[in-house]
Amino acid sequence: MESFTIREPDDFHVHLRDGPMLGAVAPYTARQFRRALVMPNLTPPVLTGADADAYRGRIQAQLGENNFKPLMAIKIVDSTTPKMVYEARKLGVIAGKLYPEGVTTNSEDGVRSFEGLYAVFRAMADCGMVLCLHGESPGVFVLDREEHFIEHCLLPLLKTVSNLKVVLEHATTARAVELVPNFGNLAVTITAHHLFLTLDDVIGGMLEPHHFCKPVAKRAADRAALVHAATSGRPRIFLGTDSAPHDISKKECRSGCAGVFTAFSALELVTQVFDERHALSHLENFTSRWGAEFYDLPLNDGSVTLRREPLFVPETIGATVLPSGIRPFRAGQRLPWTATCRSSLVGL
Amino acid sequence: MESFTIREPDDFHVHLRDGPMLGAVAPYTARQFRRALVMPNLTPPVLTGADADAYRGRIQAQLGENNFKPLMAIKIVDSTTPKMVYEARKLGVIAGKLYPEGVTTNSEDGVRSFEGLYAVFRAMADCGMVLCLHGESPGVFVLDREEHFIEHCLLPLLKTVSNLKVVLEHATTARAVELVPNFGNLAVTITAHHLFLTLDDVIGGMLEPHHFCKPVAKRAADRAALVHAATSGRPRIFLGTDSAPHDISKKECRSGCAGVFTAFSALELVTQVFDERHALSHLENFTSRWGAEFYDLPLNDGSVTLRREPLFVPETIGATVLPSGIRPFRAGQRLPWTATCRSSLVGL
C-alpha cells in the first residue's frame, strides 16, 4: 500500500508547555492531530477550570481556533476539591491528571495520599470527567513502579469507584495492557516511542538521554506486548504520545529531564509500527476512534493521508526561540511514512 | 573510632587512560593506593608485553617509580595467542583482561568467540597469569547480562580450565558474589560506587550520567549483597574501583560514556560503607589483603591512616588539562572520612 487515508487522529496525551516552548512545539502536534489532550503540569500548574480556560486561550492564540482543538485537563493535587472538579467540568475540562509525588517532570507537587482523593474521584465520575493517571508508585524500584501502582492504587480504585473512567497513561508493561479487557471503564494510552524502545535503548549501550522518559522503557517482552495491544485493534487502547519537549540543555546535562519529543512525527512513527506488523487496517482505531469514544467525543470529520515517502527528521527544532532547541525522536533519520499536513501552520 | 591505620591498599581495577588524562587522574589513585592493576583498554589497546612495558613507563613517568607501582595487564582479544601470553608474563604482566565485544568503553575490538580462546586461557593458567573478566554477555537485556555471562561463559570456563585464576570484575549482582565460595580459583572485585548505587540512582529520578557505568547498578537487593560480601571479611572478594574517567563533555552529551570516576576518594568511600556496617575490622582484608593474596603478590609494607574528618569532593578535577575536566563521584559533597596522603605527588 503506497498511500492510504484515515480519519483525522487525536493525541490523548501531549505536553505543549507554555511561552516560547509552546510556540515551538504546538504546530507540530497540530500538523497531524485534530485534537490533543494537553497536560496541565505547567509551572504554576493548571489546577482549575479558569486556569485551563486561560491555557486553552494561549494555545489557540498560537494555532488559530479552527485548525486545532486543545482538549483541556486540570492537575489533580492533594488540595483539589469536588467543587473544583464540577467547576472545571462546566468550563469544558474533560480530564483530571494525577501524578504521584516526584515521579516525573514538575511532579514535586504531586499527590501524596491517593486515598485522600476518593471524594474528588467520585465527583469526577459524577460529572463525567476522566481520571488520567501517571501510574507509577514513588519510592519503588524504577522498573517495578508501574506494576506496583496497578496492584496498590489502580485496582483498588477501579473496585471502589466503579463508575469512574480511568486512563492508565503511557503504559510500559505487559501487565498494564493485559488489564484492559477486564474493566470496561479502564483505558490505556500508549506512546509512539514505547512502541520502539526498550531499556537497552536508554542504558544498554551508551547513555541516551533523548530516549529517557518516565515511565522508562522496559523489557523486550513488554514492548512486544504494547505493540501487540496497539496493533490488534482492541478498544480502550489508544494513542497518547506523551510527547514531552525539553530544551537540549536540560537533557544533555548533569541531571537530565525525562521526556521524549515525538510530536514532529508521532503519526508517522505509529504508522511505521502498524505497517511492520501488517496491521494498517487497525491504525485508525488506535489513532482516531477508541480514544474519542472513551472520552465521549464525536469522531473527527476530516482525514489525513499517509504516503510511503521518506520523512526526514531534523537534528533540532525550535533552536531560534529556545536556548538550544529540542532534539526530536529519531533525529537525523529518515522515516518510511509521511502524513499530509492537516493545515498550513505558522512555523512549519 | 576517630582514626585508625590499615596496611597500604591496592586497587585491582583502575582506568588511568593515557596522555593528558593519565596525568590528570593517576595522582589521585597513587594518593591512596600503593599498587593498582591498570586496565589495558587504551586506543590502541595494550595487547602485548611490550605494549604493557611501554605503558608502565608512561605511568611511572607521571608518578615516579618509588611512589606507586602500576600492575600491568594485557587485553585479551580474538587474536591473542599463547605465545603472547608467555611473553607478556615474562615482562611482568600479571593479568589478561577480556571484554566481550561491545559491552563497554573501547570494547569494539572485544572478544566474539569466548570458546576460541581456551588455548590462551590454558597458557595463562600455565604461567600464572590471572584472567580478568568484564562479565557481561552482549546482546542480552542490560540487567541480565552479568547473570547470563556467569551461566554461559564463566561457569563452563571454571569447569574446563580448573587451574586458571579468574576474577569476575566489578560484580553487580547477588549471584556473582554468591559464587565465590564454590570455586577456590574464582575471585570477584567490587567497586566503590556499586556499594552505593542502584539503578534508581541512574534512571530513577533525573537521568544521572555520572552514575552511569557498565555493568549498570542493579536492584537494592543486589547492592545489599555486594555490601554484605565486601564487609563480611570473606576471602577472594576485594576492591577493584573501576574508576573510569571521562571528560565531562563525553558524559553530559547526546550519547554518554559509561564510567564513574571514584579515584578522588575511593578509599574514603569504601571506609564509609564499612563504618556504616560496623565492619571497619574487615576493611584491610578487602582493600589490602585478599587481592594481593589472590594475585600472589607480597602484602604492602606501609600504612595509611583514616581519620573521621570531612573530605570535600570538588565539582571538577583536571579542568586545566582536559577539555572540560572530570566530575568525581559525590562531587560537591563532604565525605565523613579522610585518608592520609601516601606521598606528595605532583598536582595534588
Residue A95, strand partner residues: A73, A130
Q: Is the pLDDT of residue A34 over 50?
A: yes
Which residues face A207 on adjacent strands? B256
Average pLDDT over residues B100-123: 86
Cα-only R_g, chain A:
19
Degrees, nearest 5: CA angle A182-A185-A189: 90
Against a cut of 0.80, is the pTM above it? yes
**What residues of A are in the B interface, CB distance below 8 Å?**
102, 141-143, 198-200, 202-210, 212, 216, 219-220, 251-258, 327
For residue B329, give how far its alpha carbon lies from the nearest alpha carbon of chain A (Å). 12
CA distances, A3 to each of A270, A308, A335 (Å)? 15, 6, 15
Tell me which residues of A are annotated as active site. Answer: 242
Our separate counts of H helices and E strands in chain A read 12, 13
| Of residues A102, A200, A256, nearest to B207 (C-beta) | A256
B131 with B96: CB under 8 angstroms? yes
Distance CA A226, CA A221 (A): 9
The mean of the pLDDT values for chain A is: 95
Contact A77, A100 (CB under 8 A): no
For residue A65, the model assigns a pLDDT of: 72
Q: With contact defined as beta carbons under 8 Å apart, do B194 and B269 qualify? A: no
Render pLDDT for A2-27 as a digit per residue (tens, 0 to 9). 999 999 999 999 999 999 999 999 99
How many degrees, rounded to 5, is the angle at CA A17 between CA A199 and CA A217?
A: 10
Which stretches within chain A are classed as H helix? 19-32, 49-63, 82-90, 118-127, 145-149, 155-160, 174-179, 220-231, 248-251, 266-276, 283-284, 290-294
The residues, ordered by sequence, that sit 6+ positions from A51 with a Cβ below 8 Å of its Cβ are: A40, A45, A74
State residue B283's pLDDT score. Answer: 98
SS3 for B296-324, per residue? Answer: CCCCCCCEEEEECCCEECCCCECCCCCCC
B70 pLDDT more than 60: yes
Residues of A in contact with B205 (CB under 8 A): 102, 255
pLDDT of residue A103: 72
Task: Give the pLDDT band of residue A64 (cuts 50, 70, 90).
Answer: confident
Over residues B278-311, the pLDDT tens digits come to 999 999 999 999 999 999 999 999 999 999 999 9
Contacts of A202 in chain B (CB under 8 A): 203
Q: With bands split at pLDDT 50, 70 and 90, how would you rate the model's confidence at A346?
A: very low
Using one digit for the tens of pLDDT, what is the confidence trace for A301-318? 999 999 999 999 999 999
Residue with cell 595509611: B304
Question: Residue A319: which residues within 8 A CB-CB, separation 6 or more?
Answer: A325
Q: What residues does A221 pair with on adjacent strands?
A: none
| Pair A80, A45: CB distance under 8 Å | no
Catalytic residues of B: 242
Q: How many residues does chain A have?
A: 348
DSSP string, A18-87: SHHHHHHHHHHHHHH-SEEEE----SS---SHHHHHHHHHHHHHHH-TTT-EEEEEEEE-TT--HHHHHH
* Residues pairing with A96 in the sheet: A74, A131
Give yes or no for a contact between B243 and B258, defined as CB atoms under 8 angstroms apart. no
Which residues of A fall within a CB distance of 8 Å from B251? Answer: 207
Distances (CA, A) of A266 to A271, A331, A333, B85, B348: 9, 13, 14, 54, 52
Decide which of B310 and A102 is more confident.
B310
Using alpha carbons, select from A338, A343, A341 the residue that is nearest to residue A2. A338
CB contact under 8 A, B102 and A200: no
Q: Read off the pLDDT of residues A167-202 as tens digits, 9 standing for 90 and up.
A: 999 999 999 999 999 999 999 999 999 999 999 999
Distance, in angstroms, between B64 CA and closest chain A CA?
35
Instruction: Determine the residue among A103, A207, A260 to mutate to test chain B binding: the one whose Cβ has the most chain B Cβ atoms within 10 Å.
Output: A207
Sheet holding B3-7, edge to edge: B3-7, B303-307, B338-339
Residues A12, A40 contacting (CB under 8 angstroms): no
pLDDT of residue A160: 93
Asked if the model's pLDDT at residue B104 lies above 70, the reply is: yes
Contacts of A130 (CB under 8 A, 6+ apart): A94, A95, A96, A124, A165, A166, A167, A294, A295
Nearest to A141 among B141, B200, B255 (CB): B200
Contact call for B141 and A220, based on CB within 8 A: yes
Residue B328, preceding peptide bond in cis (omega within 30° of 0): no
- Judged by DSSP in three states, A274 sits in helix
